[in-house]
Homo-oligomer: A and B are copies of this chain.
Amino acid sequence: MTADLDPIIHPTHRLRICAMLVAGGTLELSVVKEHLDLSPSALSKQVAALVDAGYVKQERLGSDTRRVWLSMTRQGRKAYQGHVAALREIVNATTVPAPD
């Protein structure tokens, strides 16, 4: 009943990264970097955290294999959905502990 916020996803940069990937499918790392205006190292680390958690897949695709592409894994999509559900639950809460 009480969905939990996912601490891997919640921090602002990672939440944004996931949102982009969920909406956009497979995106180039550099596109995400520009869109979120993150430094290379900051982005790389946040993405690494998502990859470590099994939420995001990284691959070098296309003709120029220097470029990295990102996409959500099935597990990541599920975790993201759960996280968003938890956010909605919190934000939409109308019920509040009854006063004494």
Supplied contacts A5-B15, A19-B93, 14 more A-B pairs, CB within 8 Å? A5-B12, A7-B12, A15-B90, A16-B90, A19-B90, A19-B91, A20-B96, A23-B94, A23-B96, A27-B96, A27-B97, A35-B97, A84-B91, A87-B87
Report the contact-size class of chain A (Cβ under 8 Å from the partner).
20 to 34
Overall SS of chain A's interface: helix
Q: Is the CB of A93 within 8 A of B35?
A: no
Across the interface, A20 reaches (CB within 8 A) one of B5, B10, B23, B93, namely B93
Which residues from B are CB-within-8-Å of A87?
87, 91
* A 16-41 to B, binary, CB cutoff 8 A, 1 in contact else 0: 10011001100100010011000000
Which residues from B are CB-within-8-Å of A19?
90-91, 93
Binding site for B on A (CB under 8 A): 5, 7, 10, 12, 15-16, 19-20, 23-24, 27, 31, 34-35, 84, 87, 90-91, 93-97, 99
